[in-house]
Amino acid sequence: MMNSMTSQLTVAVAVPLEPELVEEIRRTDPSVTVLYDPDLLPPERYPADHAGDPAFTRTPEQEERYWSMLDAADVLFGFPNESAAGLARIAASNPNLRWVHAMAAGAGGAVKAAGLSPENLERITVTTSAGVHSLPLAEFGIMGVLNGFKRTAELAQDQRAKIWPELRTPTRMANGSRVVVTGLGEIGLETARLARALGMKVSGTKRTVEEIDGIDRVTTNKNLPELLAEADAVINTLPGTPFTERLFNREVFGAMRHGTVLVNVGRGTVVDEEALLEALDEGRVSYACLDVFAVEPLPSGSPLWDHPRVMVSPHTSALNASENRYITERFCSNLRKFLDGEPLPHVVDPVHFY
């Protein structure tokens, strides 16, 4: 790393960011020079629109200035053009680049897609914004469970059809129910905290099995079927890796109790969507609240769009009006650590890419 008293560090802002947040980065340390040119960045269409307006184009002169700015940096705030291709290009053109901070919590897939050489993977540290999104994702996860328990999909259908059912159908209570959280990392633990606040009994999975205060049982993903056999709901927060791909397959769905509610705020590749549709038809899954999908945007021909007991959310569960501020605060904290030679949190694994 470096000593902030004797060295200068150049940070380039590669994605749209509010000017006041750029100033917050500048205030981290007097040794830091921040390169930022809003004319070279696409305007945001909504809060935390890190890719910006797709209609935005740079002139050839602006394009040259953009890449010259990034090539002059030791550290990047965001992937160039918020893309794997941009990361690949800057890794090849900027030999002084040492650290890139990604806007996403699950940036491993983009790092893998960039196809960086082993030398560049060793030279360039990539950190994610994991943890920044924990609370909004946890709230979304709990919303999905409550939607399933309280039959909101059926209520909405009846309302549209102006049906007042003659026979009243009871709903389920969150209090006393059992929920499994796959992936007891920061998002999973925040989800567990909210679930416990509603009186739910929580179990979950973790790569390294250990006792966690407030969690009834912790296992690896290999033992997930055992947990699901007694669960009323399951919330997935796992990232997309070769080890989690299609974790929720026919065998796992087959282990679920009839009427289980499924929520996915992790990655779409973790769920076998064909197997999910079968489980929905069989009633083993009573309701699925999905923010992520194997292919995004979700293809128009997917049966998930029209399924009466599926909520389709366009990968926006983490989005909130304060997201850019939270990410900037995380980056500034990391920048302080980087300047002081301390280890950075949430580094993308250059082998497994999570």
* Enzyme catalytic residues: 267, 296, 315
Distances (CA, A) of 353 to 110, 203, 246, 348: 9, 26, 17, 6
Cβ-contact 86, 126 below 8 angstroms: no
Separation of alpha carbons 135 and 354, rounded Å: 20
Close Cβ partners of 38 (under 8 Å, ≥ 6 residues apart):
16, 19
Question: Per the structure block, which two tokens stand in for 59?
Answer: 């002139």
Q: Is 183 helix (H, G, I), strand (E, B) or coil?
A: coil
**What single string gives the DSSP state of each residue in 277-309?**
HHHHHHTSEEEEEES--SSSSPPTT-GGGT-TT
- Backbone torsions φ then ψ of 285, nearest 5 degrees: -105, 120
Question: Cis (ω within 30 of 0) for the bond into 165?
Answer: no
Cβ-contact 251, 277 below 8 angstroms: no
Cβ-contact 250, 273 below 8 angstroms: no
Q: Which of 205, 174, 208, 211 is nearest to 188 (CA)?
A: 205
